[in-house]
Each structure stands twice: as C-alpha cells, then as structure tokens.
Chain A
Amino acid sequence: MSTRADREKLELLQGTLDLLILRTLIFGPRHGQGIARAIQETSDEELLVEHGALYPALQRLEERGWISAKWGTSLNNRKARFYTLTAAGHKQLGKETAKWTRLAKAIGRILGSEPAGG
C-alpha cells in the first residue's frame, strides 16, 4: 500500500460517510474498525476512509439515535464497541439512499454519461 495508491483513491463527499456507515450496519452489528474495513472492501478499495474520521460520524449518528452502541467481544476475542442500526436508523437509511440515488442520477445526467441502469 503505497502512498501513491492512496492518493488515487476517491475522497468521500461531504455527508456520504453517514450513509455508508448506516448501509454497512444493515448486515448486523460491527465495531469501528470493522465498519472502516467493510466500506473499503465493498468499494473495492476505491474509497479512502481515514479511520479516525469515522468516530465523529459514529458519535453524531449515535446522538441522533440512528445507531446504538454496546461493548462486546470481537471474533478474535478482543473487546470492542459494537454499533447496531436502530429502527430510526433503518428509516433514515432508506431516505438517505433515495436522496443519494437521485443526486447521483442528476449529476450523471449533467455530465452527459448516465450510467447504464443507474
């Protein structure tokens, strides 16, 4: 993992991190590091997520009641704080996803290369 490769990764747009976190948690509780890894892996390593930047977002989501957190044990027997999507979080995820899709379509249209099936 060279720094060069890192530089070529996409920086996250403002506000998209919240959406990605919520989306990641749809498959069940995860701890912070797991969320960071999942985002990176599911985006085929395209997205650059600074792990530290995750925490303000997690805090924000927790404060809004979209996720809840609990200390638990990880697969390899480490103590970690696990985040779970709440009912309100599920709802919010739906709203955010719809909004994002519309935004992506609109931008795609302006750029003149609407992604097929987008």
Chain B
Amino acid sequence: MFGRKRKPDDFSAEIDAHLQLEVERQRELGLSEEEARAAARRVFGNVMHAGEHFYESHRWLWLDHFRQDVRYGVRTLRKSPGFAVIAILTLAIGIGANTTLFSVVNGVLLNPLPYPQPDRLVALYARANEFTKFSISYPNFLDWSRQNHSFSSIAAFRGETFTMTGIGAPERLDADMVSAAFFPLLGVNPIVGRNFEEKEDQLGAARAALISEGLWKRKFGGAADIVGKSIRLDNHLYTITGVIPATFHFQNDNYHSKADVYVPLGQWDNPLFRDRHTGMGMDAVGRLKPGVTLAQANSDMSAVANHLAEVYPDVNKGLGVTLFPLKYNLVGDIQPFLLMLLAAVGFVLLIACANIANLLLARSTSRKREFAIRNALGAGKGRVVLQLMTECVLLALLGGALGTLLAAWGTTAALKVLPDALPRASEIHLDARVLLFTLGASVFAGILFGLVPAFKSARSDLQGTLREGGRGLSGARHRTQSVFVAMEMALAVVLMVAAGLMIRSSIKIWSVDPGFDPSNVVFFSFGSAQSLGATPDAVRQSYRQIHDAIAAVPGVESVSLSGASTPMETDSELPFWLEGEAKPASQADMKPSLFFAVQSDYLKVMRVPLKRGRFLTQADTAGAPVVTVIDERFAKQYFGNQDPIGKRIHLTIVNESAEIVGIVGHQNQWGLDSDSSNSIQAQCFLSLEQMPDALLSAFDRGASGVVRTRNAQTDIAASLSRAMQTVSSDSVVYDVESMNGIISDSLATKRFAMALLGVFAVLAIVLSALGIYGVISYIVGQRTNEIGIRMALGAGRSTVVTMVLRQAGRMAAFGLVAGLLAAAVLGRLMASMLFGVSFYDAFTFSTVSVILLSVALAACWIPARRASHVDPIIALRCE
C-alpha cells in the first residue's frame, strides 16, 4: 500500500490509539486515570513534533508552502493596492515593451523563412568590381543554371506591372515574371491548378499566368473552374493555369513582391531581355543541393563565371557571381538595429526592476516587524526569502500578463507605423516563442527585483526589531536604494545618449542638400494596356502629348517624363567611354554613370541648378544630333580641369557618340545618408526622345515622371489619371508618391530606430525620475526626526533643502558618470548606424548630462520642500 498517500487524519488516529493503549497499560500498573494520562504523554514525548514530522515528509509539502505563499502574497498585495498597482504598471510597461520588440526580432530575425528547408535557399546576383548586387542578364542566368553543379535548381524573377482590362475598370496589377522553377523551388503549390511548366517558360510559348488568391477572390469570385479562363494583361490574353495561395510571400533584399499575377519569365519578348549586356532588374534565387556548402557553391559559381568570361570576353569579363543566404540577404541590414533596440528595451526593464526593488526595500522597513514575528514563530530564513520571492514573482507575472496585452496592442500599432521599415513585417506575431520569452522575462524580472530586498529582509535582527517596534534607521538599506537609483540613472544615460546620437544623425541627414528641391514634387508611373504608338516615332509623339496634357492640369507648374533613373527611387546605370579612347574590351572596363532619360523641363521640376552650357530642349529629338548633359561630379571625375562642353562620350546604348552640351548640379541618388559612399557618382542626362528605337520599346507602354505643383496637392493622382486618359484611354497612373515621402521612406530604418530609442529613453528617464523621487521621499520620511532636531537647533529651510538636494545630487552624479562611461564604451557598437556624428559626440553627452541632472533635481524638489516644512515640535513629539 505504498504509493497511496496517508491522510493526516489517519496518522493522528494512530497516535491517539497509541496514547490510549499506553494509558490503559499505565492504569494496569496501578496509576490513577490522570496520572496514567500524564505518564503516557511523557513517554510519548512531543506529540506535535511527531505530527509535524509526518506532515513535512509529505511529498507535496513544497506545493503546500507554495500555495500558502501565493495566498499570503495575494493577501499582502491586496492590503497595499497602491504599491501593487504601481509595481504592476511599471512592470507591464517594461515587459510589454520587451515583448513587443522581441516579437519583432522573433518574426524578422529568428523565425525561419516560410519555405521548406529555408536554410538551403540562396540569393544570386551578378558582381562587377565592387558592385555586389548587380542585376543578372537573362542569357547569363540560363548559362548559370545549365553549368553549375551546386544547385538543385535556380530560378529568376523580376517585378513588372501590367494593366488589366476586361474585368471592370482598367487596373494596374503588380506582377512577377518568374522562371518555371520558381514556385517548385520555394515549395509552393497552387491551391487550384498547376505551376508553370518548362515549355511555357520559353519565348513564343502560349501566354500563361498564375494569379494570386486575392485576385481570384476579388475578380473571379473564387470560381472553382478558374483554370483555363483568361485574363487580359497589357492587351494580351493570358490563360490562367492556377491560383497561388495568399499565404505565399516573397521578399529578397529590397524587393518585396506584392504580385497579383505571375507570368513565365522566359516568354518575355523584349529584345533587350535577351541581350547579354543588359540586366533588366532580374535577380535569382537558388536551392543548394543536399550537402553542398555556401563556400563550395561560391567556388563552383566562380568557375562558371570565369568560363563565361572566356566565351564572351566583351560582356562577361570581370563579371562574377555573388551568393548570400536568402535570409541574411533579407534581414542582414536590419539585424544590428534590432539587436541594439532589444538591448535598449532590456535596459528599460532593468530600470523598472530597480525601481520596484527600491519600493520593496522601502516597504520591507515597514514590514520588518512582520518578518521578525514570523521568525520568532519559527519560520526559517529560507522560508521567509521564499515567501517574499513568491510575492515578487506573483507581481511580475501579473505585470507580464498586463504587458502581454500591451504588447499585443503595441505590435499591431508598431506594424501600422512602419510597414516599409522592416522586411518580413507580415511574419511578426505573438507566437508561442514570444509568450515563452515573456514568461521567462517576467519570472526573471521578479527574481531580479525581489532577490536583494528579500535577503535584506530575512537578515533583519530579530530581537532588535521587536524591541524597536519596527522603526529606526537602517543605513544599509539607504545605501542599497541609492545604488539602485544610481544604476537606473546610468542606464537612462546610456539610452539617452543612444537616442541623442540617433536624433543628431537624423538632423544631420535631413540637413544634407539632396541637390534638388523635393517639396511639391510628385513622382508617378503610368502604364497603358496597349503600346503608346505603332512606331518608335509615334511613341515619341505620345510622350510629347502626355507631357502637354499633364502640363495643362491646373496647379501643375512643370512636368518631365522619365525613363531611367529617378533620384532615390530607381537606378539605371550606363557604361560609356570617352571619345578619343579606344573602345574598352569589355563592359567591366568601361566607366559607369547613372543615366537619366528625361524631357526638357526636368531641371525646372527638380530645381536642379544649371551650372554651364544648356540643358536638353524640345529640339533634341530623334534625328537631331545626340546630345547629353552631365553633372558636376561626372565633369570632375572624368574631365578634371578640362572643359567638358563640346567633348563627346560613347554610350553603350546609343550607336553614335553624344556631345556634352551642359553641366548641371549633382542630385543625391542613393539616399541622403549614403549617397557619397556609393561608388557610382557620375550622372548623365539624355533626351527621352533621343533614346534609340530598341530601348524605346522597353518604355512603349509606360514610364515614370516627375511633376512640380504650385502647392501641395492632395488629389494629384486623379488629375494625372484624367490627363493620361486624354492621350490613351486605357492607361493607368500608379505609384504616385511625393518626393519628400520617397526621401523619408529611404530613411525608414533609421527613423524607426530613432523613434523607438527616443521612446525608450523617455521611459527610462521618467522611471529613473520616479525612482529617485521615491527614494529621496523615503529618506526624508525616515530622517524627519533628525531634520526636526536640526531645525530646532537653528537650521534654516534653505539649509535643509540643500542638504536633501545634495544627497539626491550625489546619487545622480554617480549614475551620470557611470552612464557616460558606459555610453562611451557601448557607443562604439552603434558607430555604423550614425551619420555625421561620432559616438562620443560631446554635444550629445553634455546635453544628456544637463537633462539628467535637471530631471533628477526637479524630481527631488518636492521631497526637499517637504523636508524644509517639517515642524520641529511635531517631529520631536513623535519621537
């Protein structure tokens, strides 16, 4: 019958029986009833002790204690609701902020990509000299696929937009052109129908399309017989082969597919696409064969690239291959920011813990009597510590639960604010791992803030306390509290310095001159289902008409269509060589320049200054001599002190050389914070109408443009659409975005980091201010008698105020110095995220010092005043 638990009742019955038997025996020996009873008890010894022994060997004793402690804890907390509410709220903020940020880190950095065996996926790029992420040309891609030995398959993809007609109003659809291998490689199966087949991924194959689940439901009502139906894109009919599930997301570096429709890449009939010279914005993704490492794949692909360089020396010489693990490619850039933020938010929690520890220390003074009594009644030290810790973990768990609610709200709110700042934003949820983290963080926090106060309480001197009646000074406790406050201050200083540096960086970034005036400039794209003209000349004609139609819109000041680069939005590079030089043997040996294909009003729209000569005019059209305008950096880099005007350059896409007719200011192309660090600085402009016919065919269904309005216009998109429709009835205007918006989006990551750091720094300073306020108030309360005596002896109010503030100032100063030292050491870690300021920026450090000291002194002003108003009589009478 072991295993079955004995009930305490059963045990006491046994003891009773024993005593009874003994009494009877003693009576038999001739004792009276009373004497026998006494004798039985005597020989038995301590009945209570035997009972306790039984009870304590009960296997679930600790659970019993735990239950007792929890009950006791709840009761204690309920008795001091003020303390409980403050502690729980502080913790909820600390834990909630940590949970929110961890859910971001979890979704973005920790979770694997949502494909089978995601760690085998690799992003592929072409590499030319220091440019590691070049677009791959399709012929090279096909050779890479055929000649490599490392990948079970590689698939190419590029973004495209189509105008869909025939179902309701014309609509611009985001599309992906993908290799047939694309979906199988990522392990995606259509929910209806089938993936593309190899034979559909060929030039001249019948047009086929896969559509997104969203489009299927929106435009086809989720019809089960969708396969075989057709969809009209850019006025061609595509047969639908299947539906891609809505759960599918694809992102690669800065490419975030929002495609509603997918078409086989190999069908694309643009002649430039099959030109080995030209990368048409196409990237690739590959799946490594089992057992092949990234290093092996790298050397394999180098061999492939070297072989191609031998076969096509004029194009492929110097052209390599870059491989990145797909996940790293996606989140590598944001990782340091997120880890920094996670550390920062951890600091906030530490500060919150220090605050609560101080509250507990203060409370433990008033609970001293309680502990002493419990101790006197036989509670061991371990038991008291355990009981206090239970109370703390209970608090922390309540705080954590509330924090989780805050985090659920915070995560949603954060995602709404920063959709562009983060890759994989759609994968951020409060999942099991996040909740586990929260639980862990809560328990850890509870132990952290509970441990020191618990041990301090348990160590209290029993007799002294009982005699003192629970009052009296406890200098050691002051010291611990002061250390905690100094620590909080130090952590707050580190956060404030970090936030300050980010803010200073942002100010520096925003004060960078972009080289153009972005205010009231709107960028837009337009597309048409049909070609804008049957012949290249007709297309040129349409461009002029579109220009005039948009220019006539009320409120529009000037407009220029644009076919290649747009500052901070699209990049198009063009290799060239100077006239008088021998034509370089390969493209890699040519000089690179950014290339803008624009109309004559471009300078007016962007307010780029003309430095010398003239800009492009309407006379620079097909048939007229080809001219180009270069920017200052182009002039300086390639002509030095020579006068470039009148010189000629050979551009690879134009058959004849172009004469340089003017020099304009440099536009910031690569983003305010990184323009000067990019290796392509030179910029040249060509007239859109002087584009060779072959290139024009790439833009015959649409292009982009920039338009300057007289003042900020809200409905410019609709106006542009209407203007476009007058030229081409089934055209669409899309991607309308203010130039200021484009600039701020390019800084989204930095702004995101700055905003969060700012929030954390404010939280930190508020919590520290509360912390120092609490401790100083407490100390003033404890020193009331002493202050009373001092005042009775003639100390003035200002003396008392100074005395209190000096004590506060000492704590703050210790914290400040420690914090500044820590910031100087830790700042190094964020050096790469800064712009225009060093991590030991004196201005930031001194501003933070002033703020911290002011806040600390302000927080202590109230208790200091209270101290100075102590009535000596009352204070002394209390003694």
Residues in chain A within 8 A of chain B (CB atoms): 1, 31-34, 36-37, 50-53, 55-56, 59, 62-63, 65, 68-69, 74, 76, 78-81
B24 contacts which chain A residues (CB < 8 A)?
76, 78
Closest residue on chain B to residue A53 by CB atoms: B45
B57 contacts which chain A residues (CB < 8 A)?
56, 59
B15 contacts which chain A residues (CB < 8 A)?
55
A34 contacts which chain B residues (CB < 8 A)?
21
Within 8 A of A (CB), among B440-460: none
Question: Mind listing 23 A-B residue pairs with CB under 8 Å?
Answer: A1-B39, A31-B18, A32-B14, A33-B18, A33-B22, A33-B25, A37-B25, A51-B22, A51-B45, A52-B44, A52-B45, A53-B50, A55-B15, A56-B53, A59-B53, A59-B54, A63-B2, A76-B21, A78-B21, A80-B14, A80-B21, A81-B13, A81-B17
- 0/1 interface trace, chain B 17-35, chain A, CB 8 Å (1 if under): 1101110110000000000
A36 contacts which chain B residues (CB < 8 A)?
43
Is B49 in the interface zone, CB < 8 Å from A?
Answer: yes
Count B-side interface residues using an 8 Å CB cutoff. 24
B22 contacts which chain A residues (CB < 8 A)?
33, 51
A69 contacts which chain B residues (CB < 8 A)?
1
Given A50-B45, A51-B44, A69-B1, A56 and B18 touching (CB < 8 A)?
no
Q: Is there an interface contact between B50 and A81, defined as CB atoms closer than 8 Å?
A: no
Is B61 in the interface zone, CB < 8 Å from A?
Answer: no
9 tightest A-B CB contacts, nearest first: A52-B45, A50-B45, A33-B21, A52-B50, A51-B44, A81-B14, A33-B18, A80-B17, A56-B53
A68 to B6 CA separation, bound complex (whole angstroms): 13
Q: How far is the CB of A5 from chain B (nearest CB, A)?
A: 12
Q: How far is the CB of A22 from chain B (nearest CB, A)?
A: 16
- 0/1 interface trace, chain B 356-384, chain A, CB 8 Å (1 if under): 00000000000000000000000000000
B44 contacts which chain A residues (CB < 8 A)?
50-52
Is B46 in the interface zone, CB < 8 Å from A?
Answer: yes
Closest residue on chain B to residue A74 by CB atoms: B21
Is B766 in the interface zone, CB < 8 Å from A?
Answer: no
Q: How far is the CB of A32 from chain B (nearest CB, A)?
A: 5
Q: How far is the CB of A69 from chain B (nearest CB, A)?
A: 7
- Which residue of B18, B39, B43, B47 contacts A80 across the interface (Cβ within 8 Å)? B18
B25 contacts which chain A residues (CB < 8 A)?
33, 37
Q: Is there an interface contact between A51 and B18, defined as CB atoms closer than 8 Å?
A: yes
Q: Is there an interface contact between B2 and A50, defined as CB atoms closer than 8 Å?
A: no
Given contacts A33-B25, A37-B25, A55-B53, 18 further A-B contacts (CB under 8 A): A32-B17, A32-B18, A33-B21, A34-B21, A36-B43, A52-B44, A52-B47, A52-B50, A53-B45, A55-B15, A62-B2, A68-B1, A69-B1, A74-B21, A78-B17, A79-B17, A80-B21, A81-B13
Closest residue on chain B to residue A68 by CB atoms: B1
Q: Is there an interface contact between A52 and B1, defined as CB atoms closer than 8 Å?
A: no
Q: How far is the CB of B10 from chain A (nearest CB, A)?
A: 8
A50 to B39 CA separation, bound complex (whole angstroms): 12
Q: Which of B22, B43, B46, B50 counts the most chain A CB atoms within 10 A?
A: B43
A55 to B25 CA separation, bound complex (whole angstroms): 19
B45 contacts which chain A residues (CB < 8 A)?
50-53
B1 contacts which chain A residues (CB < 8 A)?
68-69
Q: Is there an interface contact between B17 and A31, defined as CB atoms closer than 8 Å?
A: yes
B47 contacts which chain A residues (CB < 8 A)?
52
A56 to B52 CA separation, bound complex (whole angstroms): 10
Q: How far is the CB of B33 from chain A (nearest CB, A)?
A: 16
Q: Which of B2, B20, B21 counts the most chain A CB atoms within 10 A?
A: B21
A74 contacts which chain B residues (CB < 8 A)?
21
A50 contacts which chain B residues (CB < 8 A)?
43-45
B13 contacts which chain A residues (CB < 8 A)?
79, 81
